[in-house]
C-alpha cells in the first residue's frame, strides 16, 4: 500500500506545482476529446433524429448496425484505421498516422455510434404529438427537428456526455494510430498506461486524477445547463 500513498503524494505535487508535462497531456486530451465529440455529435445527432423519425426501407437494419457498433472494440477501430492511414494504406498520402488528427478520427468512429444510437432512442422517447404539433403550426423540417430536440434536451445532453466519456477514456485507437509520442500524441489514457508500465505510479495517478476531474467538470456543466433549462 505504500506505493499507493507515495503515488498520491506525487500526484498532488505534480498537480499543485503545475507540471508542464501533466498539463500538456491534459490539454491535448481535452482538445482531441472536444473536437472528436463535436464532430461525432454533429453527424450522430442528426443521424439519430433521422433514424428515429423517418420511415424508410432498411431503417430497422440501419438501427441494428448502429446499435451493434456501440460494442465495437476500440483496438479494432484503431487497427482498421491504422490500415487506412499507414503509408501503404489508401489514405496514407494525407500523412495523419501518429498525429492528433488520427486520434480524432478514431475517436469520432467510436463516438459516432453512441451519438447516433442513443440520440435515436432519445428522440423516439419524445411524444409524437410534439412533432405533429410543430408541423401543424407551420414549422419546416429544421424547425420541427429543433423543437423535438428541445423536448429531448436532457437525454441529448446525456448523449453528448456519453460520447465525450467514450472519447476521453478510450485507449486502443489512441495508442495504435497516435503512437503515444511524447509532446505530440500522448493522451491521458495512453500516458497512464505508459507510466504504470514504467512503475511511475505518481505520474500515472496524477494523470488519472486529471482524467476524472475532466469527466466531473463535464457532468457538472451538464447539470448546470439542465437546471437552467428546466420547465
Partner 1 sequence: MVELRGIKHRYASRVVLDLDQFSVPRTGALAVVGHNGSGKSTLLRLLALLETPTEGQVLFDGQPVPRRAPPALRRRVTLVEQRPVLFRGTVRENLEYGLRLRDLSTNAAAGMIGHVVEQLGLQPLLERRRHELSDGEVQRVAVARALALRPDVLLLDEPASSADRAAAGALYRALAAERAARPFAVCIASHQLEDAYRWGDDIRALAEGRLSPVTPENLFRVELPPGDGVKRIRVGDADFFVMTDRSGPAVVAVPPTDIFVSKEPLPSSARNVLAGRITGMAIEHRGAGVHVRADVGGIELVAAVTAEASKDLGLGPGVKVVFSFKATAVQVF
Q: Catalog residues that contact partner 1 under the rule CB under 8 A.
A: 127, 129-130, 132-140, 143, 147, 150-151, 231
- Least spacing, CB of residue 153 vs partner 1, in Å: 8
- Least spacing, CB of residue 150 vs partner 1, in Å: 6
Nearer to partner 1, 59 or 150 (CB): 150
- Least spacing, CB of residue 141 vs partner 1, in Å: 8
Based on the number of CB atoms within 10 Å of its own CB, is 75 exposed (0-12), middle (13-18) or buried (19 or more)? middle
- Where are the alpha helices (H) located in the chain, listed in sequence order? 2-16, 20-53, 59-69, 74-85, 100-124, 128-136, 141-151, 153-169, 172-173, 188-197, 201-229
d(CA 167, CA 44): 14
Nearer to partner 1, 55 or 88 (CB): 55
- Least spacing, CB of residue 119 vs partner 1, in Å: 18
Nearer to partner 1, 64 or 133 (CB): 133
Is 202:10 a contact under the CB 8 Å cutoff? yes
Based on the number of CB atoms within 10 Å of its own CB, is 103 exposed (0-12), middle (13-18) or buried (19 or more)? buried
Nearest to 26 by CA among 154, 221, 173, 217: 217
Nearer to partner 1, 110 or 152 (CB): 152
Nearer to partner 1, 18 or 138 (CB): 138
- Least spacing, CB of residue 116 vs partner 1, in Å: 23
Amino acid at each position: 500500500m505504500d506505493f499507493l500513498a507515495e503515488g498520491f503524494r506525487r500526484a498532488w505535487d505534480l498537480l499543485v506545482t503545475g507540471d508542464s508535462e501533466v498539463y500538456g497531456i491534459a490539454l491535448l486530451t481535452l482538445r482531441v476529446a472536444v473536437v472528436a465529440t463535436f464532430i461525432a455529435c454533429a453527424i450522430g445527432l442528426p443521424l439519430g433524429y433521422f433514424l428515429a423519425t423517418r420511415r424508410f426501407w432498411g431503417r430497422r437494419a440501419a438501427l441494428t448496425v448502429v446499435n451493434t457498433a456501440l460494442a465495437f472494440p476500440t483496438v479494432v477501430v484503431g487497427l482498421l484505421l491504422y490500415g487506412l492511414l499507414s503509408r501503404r494504406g489508401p489514405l496514407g498520402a494525407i500523412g495523419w498516422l501518429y498525429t492528433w488528427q488520427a486520434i480524432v478520427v478514431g475517436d469520432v468512429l467510436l463516438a459516432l455510434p453512441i451519438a447516433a444510437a442513443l440520440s435515436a432512442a432519445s428522440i423516439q422517447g419524445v411524444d409524437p404529438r410534439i412533432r405533429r404539433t410543430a408541423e401543424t403550426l407551420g414549422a419546416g423540417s429544421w424547425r420541427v427537428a429543433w423543437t423535438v430536440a428541445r423536448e429531448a434536451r436532457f437525454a441529448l445532453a446525456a448523449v453528448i456526455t456519453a460520447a465525450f466519456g467514450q472519447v476521453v477514456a478510450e485507449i486502443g485507437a489512441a495508442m495504435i494510430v497516435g503512437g503515444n509520442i511524447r509532446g505530440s500524441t500522448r493522451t491521458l489514457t495512453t500516458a497512464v498506461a505508459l507510466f504504470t508500465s514504467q512503475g511511475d505510479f505518481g505520474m500515472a495517478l496524477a494523470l488519472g486524477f486529471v482524467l476524472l476531474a475532466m469527466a466531473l467538470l463535464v457532468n457538472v456543466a451538464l447539470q448546470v445547463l439542465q437546471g437552467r433549462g428546466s420547465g
